[in-house]
Structure 1
Amino acid sequence: MATQSYRKNFITTINDEDGNPFQNHDHKAAIVWKSYKDRLGKAIDPPMLFNLEEIIQPKDLSELDAPFSMDEIDQVIKDIHSDRAPGPDGFNGLFLKKCWDIIKQDIYTMIWDFFEGNIGIQSINTAFITLIPKIANPNDMNDFRPISLSIINAAWANGELTLPTNQAYGLDYPIIQYADDTLLIMPADEDQLNHLKYLLNLFSLSTGLFVNFSKSSMIPINMDQQSANNLANSFGCRIESLPFTYLGLPMGTTKPSVHDLIPVISRIDKRLSGVARFMNHSGRLTCVNSVVASMPIFAMCSLKVHVTILDHVDKSSRNFLWYGNEINKGGKCLASWEMICKPKQQGGLGVLNLREQNKALLRKHLFKFYNKVDVPWGYDYL
């Protein structure tokens, strides 16, 4: 398993600025170091080409210099979501709330000492830069660069961009953004596309964060191929088609087919065949419960996964459990899969029932809709 993970995460070759490929570790490390040194450690004085007063609402910032009060600190702890980890220490909000009477004095002291300048917390800002490929076969450091689109709402408010449909989107232009994965929906209009590129170039000149347009993709809807090619050439990006992958899930105008979710099956089968020969029966059960059952969860949170996919995952898990690395072997099993999926208190092995889990995960959306939970994708449309 460790070898498989190492091969997946290993960067075999990386190109320098001149396009020359290098495989030697020292050369690759030098390319990565130089790339981030130029981005993060390069002193520049870019001109600000935006009127920040129109983008950022003015606020009274005098309280930023005031000492922290105990009531403020207590309120922050109360507002933390119980099931989300506030930092890399692994302690979630529920732990902080339950143990607050025990740990609060130490946290008060730490915060006040920091305010007075008596302690340094530089280690909190220490981080490792992880290179996550944004394309299938990354070749150089530009394939890892994120961008930001915080200026789009201002352009829409000023009438420089229009909505793709007559549907109102609250106070925001229709942008879906998670970390550095951004999806922007706009009309198929060359003038607006050129203005978007103009805004992004202004953003680059104002911040020093340059946009890599070759990493971007255009997915045309109800357009002829020639018009799509003209828009893509104008923007400097490539053309893709529906369905496309966003955050690891297929997105399109129709329900995802079995073919669209084949990568989920492939990852599971690859994981099972790679570790089976190293495990006994108890280890294989643990693997099914903790690893295999979790791999399709992300898809099941958003999609009604086709029963063919779920049945294949069950079949692979069943054969892996009873026959080890012969995951395609069928035959006699020591117990029915229905029994295996029952809780241990009822005589089963506690293996996750994927069909029921898929239904439960989708029903949580109904709960959020009807209870008006504050989520960005639903609250404003209720």
Structure 2
Amino acid sequence: MLCCSLWGNDDCDWVSLPAAGSSGGILSIWRKSLGFIVFSFKGKRRLWNDILMTKNGFGDIVWCVVGDFNSVIEVTERRGVASDVLSHPSREMMEFRWFLEDLELVDMPLVGRQFTWFHQNGVAMSRLDRVLVSHDWARLWGNPNVWVDDRDVSDHCHLILRYDPADWGPKPFRFNNFWLENKHFTDLIVNTCESQNFTGWMGFILKERLKGLKLAIKRWSLEEYGKSEERKKMLVDSIKALDTKSEIVGISAEEVETRKCLFNDLYFHARVKSRRKSNSILALQTANGVTEGSTNVRQAAMSFFQQRYSNDEWARPNLDGVVFPMLSKENNSFLTAPFTLEEIERVVKDCDGSKCPGPDGFNFAFIKEFWELMKFEVRILFDQFHGNNCVPKCLMSYFLTLIPKVKSPQSLDDYRPISLLGCWYKLLAKVLASRLASVIGTLIPKTKSAFLKGRQLVEGVVAVNEVIDFAKKFRKDCVILKVGFEKACDSEDWGFLDYMLGRFEFSDKWRAWMKACVCEGNLFVLVNGIPTEEFQIKRGLKQGDLLAPLLFLLVATPFKYLGLPVGANPHKVSTWEPMLDVIRGRLGSWGNKYVSLGGRVVLLNAVLNAISIFFLSYWKMPVKVWRELVKIQRKFLWGGLSNHAKTGWVKWDDICRPKKEADLGLRNLLAKWRWKLLSHDHEVWKEIVTAKYDGDIIGKLAIGEVDVPRTASLWWQDICLLDVNGGWFRLAVGKKVGMGDSTSFWNEVWIGSQSLRQRFLRLYSVSTQQNEVIQSMGRMASGRWQWVLAWRQERKFGVFTFGICSLSPSVGTIRGVCVFKCLEECGAVQSLCVLLATAIGSDPNKG
């Protein structure tokens, strides 16, 4: 009777495990009459609704839901099925994701296997079985591990819920930026530095200084803030107190804002814990089977990367028969010039202060704050490096953190290794990378569009897609070869790198610097935040070191899949489904229980809009996709992604208006390519476009004047459509003449709002200088510019002469450049966004 009373009726059955000693017992109760229709979507909906009603009926208690849901939440959870099933998420998939979000439970990652169900054909497999736990479950009893056991006669694998009591060890020190807001923190750092007295090489002194500061900060933080769990408990108690007060007597506006801030703190705390759990490595699939346990997993990780970064000597081929460009003497002198304090300070200023620290534990937020205290010692460190061509070994240790590449990683091949460097070596590498980036463009061909300033990855996508479009339209034979480098940076041979530096004629001093930076280093692998034992690397480039991508350019051509399907039709919704699926998945992982409305606005602007930027930088979004994206954003803003109706308290058109107009400032983006076509820089994608369409499109403010062939690609048609509906781009952009050597006198808009050819067509028809630039239309005489205009017959100039007589090209060396006309108010990008918001409003057909 007790179980029936707990359940609420007698339609139940149960099984129990009694308590043993200090360990509590388990009572499991379920409804006997609950039916499950395996293949019916309607039946699944009914089951999901029953589970939701049951959970809501019991209230806010600890939950763990285990079972075969017979549904997946994303296409990556299936394999071996028809390609059309994997191409885009189904309605069932989306509704199942909404169901999991409404449950507000955490979907635990799997250990041991990626799939839990296998078809009898041995090809099709899916992840149908899940373990869902509430945040309170993990808070009270810790995070469980969901092991996928081997199957026998069943087509499903067993799921085993286990706990990992292993002690992974103490975590290394990490600087917290919020310490800088404490008024006593500056005095602590200054007093500690003044009490220190070290001698020796400056690298050793700086390393010991940070070591002493680390100990002092630890003691101070423990006294000042206490433990984080105690602070979290205080936040929860504060929320409960405000909730109780609001139910009885109401709370003030100030207390309402306080509660919102506390909820946001809890939300981000929950997100950090959830991310930490999903990134944790509890077991690994190795050649010897599944490895588990803290000691065994750490040893397996260490052995794996020791082997990856080892180097077997063998007779490597060389490239003696290939001709390479050579670095000039001037550039070599620039690279190896003495370091200046101004150069170092400029790099420090540009560094992101929120990046993860290396073994020393300090990020650049700390370095920036106390730069005046340390800058002269840092200058000495750079001078010693310049003179001795070596980096102190105490600065060359670094962490290797592992980022999952898939949802449920099984082996170390499923992780992406990223290097976390010490702050002093990172500063040195950034200064050297800044110098190298300034000259490497003279050595790297224009066909390479990655890792170089002024070149963008998506330029390669444009070039390849235009070639494929041409081959399809005109039925031409075409061969596309994609070369993939497996573990490219990790397998880089140091001897070959030095050989290539020599072939490019880098100086001996620079080559010695690169050997000191690249060919040295001791590595710790971070497993669940805990470092393994230190070991030495013998090959590879550090992913995370700014020198790595630039040096990689000198030995290989990077060509990677950029997330944009090559040759796809951007007008089909299925092309955009991967982007929409990522957005839905990201939103589904955010618990709306903790985040306030203001927090959701921040997340929409900072995270969601950024996901779609890469697609929009090349393709114009179809209206149907735009509406679906707005629908997703609107649902999340007003409370979540579930299928239940949500009340929108502000019109979406108003939400998307700029903040200066008293709205929320959410932005709805191809004009970048139009902007790049205004410059005369030689780029491969421009050469392809001009060869396909018109050689006279470079530098034109109005491409709409150019005839668009019917065989043009969809991308080029969308580019040309920017001049339709008023030609907002032409109105927004003007041209500064400069010396006048790159601006057409008659054909470009450089005075007024039209070209001189458009305004004075009769004069243009009798001019003998129709294709001349401004600079060749006159000369300097007695320090003043005089126009020299040539005509086929004499004319009275009138208004024409009056309009240009006061204008003259610059006598300096500034080339003509295109600028936004409204730069005085704000930056170029923001100016363009404001203009678009005014011009198109919420109608996607206009944009």
Q: Same fold (TM over 0.5)?
A: yes
Partner of 1:250: 565
Asked if 1 retains the 8 angstrom alpha-carbon contact of 2:385 and 2:391, the reply is: yes
Partner of 1:128: 399
Distance in 1, matches of 2:584 and 2:415, equals 28
1:311 aligns with 2:617: no
Shift in alpha-carbon separation, 1:290–1:21, aligned structure 2, 3 A:
same
Shift in alpha-carbon separation, 1:133–1:282, aligned structure 2, 3 A:
closer
Shift in alpha-carbon separation, 1:255–1:312, aligned structure 2, 3 A:
closer
The alpha carbon displacement at 1:335 in A equals 1.5
Asked if 1 retains the 8 angstrom alpha-carbon contact of 2:655 and 2:664, the reply is: yes
Amino acid at match of 1:305: M
1:22 aligns with 2:22: no
Distance in 2, matches of 1:83 and 1:377, equals 30
Distance in 2, matches of 1:54 and 1:302, equals 35
Asked if 2 retains the 8 angstrom alpha-carbon contact of 1:373 and 1:379, the reply is: no
Partner of 2:503: none
Partner of 1:45: 313
The alpha carbon displacement at 1:348 in A equals 0.7
The alpha carbon displacement at 1:371 in A equals 1.4
Distance in 1, matches of 2:399 and 2:447, equals 32
Shift in alpha-carbon separation, 1:292–1:109, aligned structure 2, 3 A:
same
The alpha carbon displacement at 1:36 in A equals 1.2
Moved more, 47-56 or 298-307: 47-56
**Residue 129 of structure 1: SS of its match in structure 2?**
strand
Distance in 1, matches of 2:295 and 2:569, equals 48
Distance in 2, matches of 1:343 and 1:124, equals 47
Partner of 2:36: none
Distance in 2, matches of 1:9 and 1:58, equals 45
1:212-242 deviation per Cα after TM superposition (whole angstroms, max 9, x unaligned):
xxxxxxxxxxxxxxxxxxxxxxxxxxxxxxx
1:326-355 deviation per Cα after TM superposition (whole angstroms, max 9, x unaligned):
543435422211111112221211122x2x
Distance in 1, matches of 2:687 and 2:624, equals 33
Shift in alpha-carbon separation, 1:255–1:281, aligned structure 2, 3 A:
closer
Which of the numbers 343, 353, 360 marks the counterpart of 2:658?
A: 343
1:75-96 deviation per Cα after TM superposition (whole angstroms, max 9, x unaligned):
8999x8x9886996669xxx9x
Asked if 1 retains the 8 angstrom alpha-carbon contact of 2:339 and 2:383, the reply is: no
Alignment of structure 1 residues 120-159 onto 2, 5 Å:
120=391, 125-132=396-403, 139-142=410-413
Shift in alpha-carbon separation, 1:279–1:103, aligned structure 2, 3 A:
same
1:242-294 deviation per Cα after TM superposition (whole angstroms, max 9, x unaligned):
xxx92233332432632232232233233334321112223222222322222
The alpha carbon displacement at 1:133 in A equals 5.7
The alpha carbon displacement at 1:109 in A equals 3.9
Partner of 1:282: 598
Asked if 1 retains the 8 angstrom alpha-carbon contact of 2:284 and 2:297, the reply is: yes
TM-score, scaled to structure 1:
0.56
Asked if 2 retains the 8 angstrom alpha-carbon contact of 1:272 and 1:327, the reply is: no
Alignment of structure 1 residues 287-306 onto 2, 5 Å:
287-306=603-622
Shift in alpha-carbon separation, 1:311–1:49, aligned structure 2, 3 A:
same
The alpha carbon displacement at 1:30 in A equals 2.0
**Residue 607 of structure 2: SS of its match in structure 1?**
helix
The alpha carbon displacement at 1:131 in A equals 3.6
Alignment of structure 1 residues 189-204 onto 2, 5 Å:
none
Asked if 2 retains the 8 angstrom alpha-carbon contact of 1:250 and 1:256, the reply is: no
The alpha carbon displacement at 1:34 in A equals 0.7
* Aligned-pair identity (%): 19
Partner of 2:383: 112
Distance in 1, matches of 2:671 and 2:615, equals 14
Amino acid at match of 1:275: G
Partner of 1:232: none
Asked if 1 retains the 8 angstrom alpha-carbon contact of 2:404 and 2:415, the reply is: yes
Which of the numbers 334, 357, 360 marks the counterpart of 2:649?
A: 334
Asked if 2 retains the 8 angstrom alpha-carbon contact of 1:342 and 1:351, the reply is: yes
Amino acid at match of 2:385: F
Amino acid at match of 1:346: E
Asked if 1 retains the 8 angstrom alpha-carbon contact of 2:279 and 2:404, the reply is: no
The alpha carbon displacement at 1:106 in A equals 6.8
1:116-160 deviation per Cα after TM superposition (whole angstroms, max 9, x unaligned):
3499555765443344566787654456699xxxxxxxxxxxxxx
1:367 aligns with 2:682: no
- Please give the root-mean-square deviation of Cα atoms over the aligned residues, in Å: 5.4
Shift in alpha-carbon separation, 1:141–1:332, aligned structure 2, 3 A:
closer
**Unpaired runs of at least 5, structure 1:** 147-170, 197-202, 211-244
**Residue 333 of structure 1: SS of its match in structure 2?**
coil
Amino acid at match of 1:267: V
1:37-92 deviation per Cα after TM superposition (whole angstroms, max 9, x unaligned):
1232x354332322446365566899689973368x868999x8x9886996669x
Distance in 2, matches of 1:335 and 1:105, equals 55
* Larger Cα-atom Rg: 2
**Residue 637 of structure 2: SS of its match in structure 1?**
helix
Which of the numbers 284, 304, 307 marks the counterpart of 1:35?
A: 304
Asked if 2 retains the 8 angstrom alpha-carbon contact of 1:134 and 1:143, the reply is: yes
**Residue 565 of structure 2: SS of its match in structure 1?**
strand
Moved more, 342-351 or 254-263: 254-263
Shift in alpha-carbon separation, 1:302–1:104, aligned structure 2, 3 A:
farther
1:259 aligns with 2:574: yes
Distance in 2, matches of 1:372 and 1:337, equals 40
Partner of 2:25: none
Asked if 2 retains the 8 angstrom alpha-carbon contact of 1:284 and 1:320, the reply is: yes
Report which of the two has the higher share of strand.
Answer: 2
TM-score, scaled to structure 2:
0.28
Asked if 2 retains the 8 angstrom alpha-carbon contact of 1:341 and 1:351, the reply is: yes
The alpha carbon displacement at 1:369 in A equals 2.7
**Residue 267 of structure 1: SS of its match in structure 2?**
helix
Asked if 2 retains the 8 angstrom alpha-carbon contact of 1:13 and 1:23, the reply is: yes
**Unpaired runs of at least 5, structure 2:** 1-270, 356-362, 418-443, 465-476, 486-491, 497-537, 541-559, 691-847
Asked if 2 retains the 8 angstrom alpha-carbon contact of 1:16 and 1:140, the reply is: yes
Partner of 2:257: none
Distance in 1, matches of 2:295 and 2:632, equals 42
Asked if 2 retains the 8 angstrom alpha-carbon contact of 1:277 and 1:325, the reply is: no
Asked if 2 retains the 8 angstrom alpha-carbon contact of 1:316 and 1:328, the reply is: no
Q: What is the number of residues matched between the two proteins? A: 294
**Residue 643 of structure 2: SS of its match in structure 1?**
coil
Amino acid at match of 1:69: P
Distance in 1, matches of 2:378 and 2:684, equals 32
Alignment of structure 1 residues 93-112 onto 2, 5 Å:
108-112=379-383
Partner of 2:272: 2
Distance in 1, matches of 2:612 and 2:391, equals 43
Amino acid at match of 2:662: G
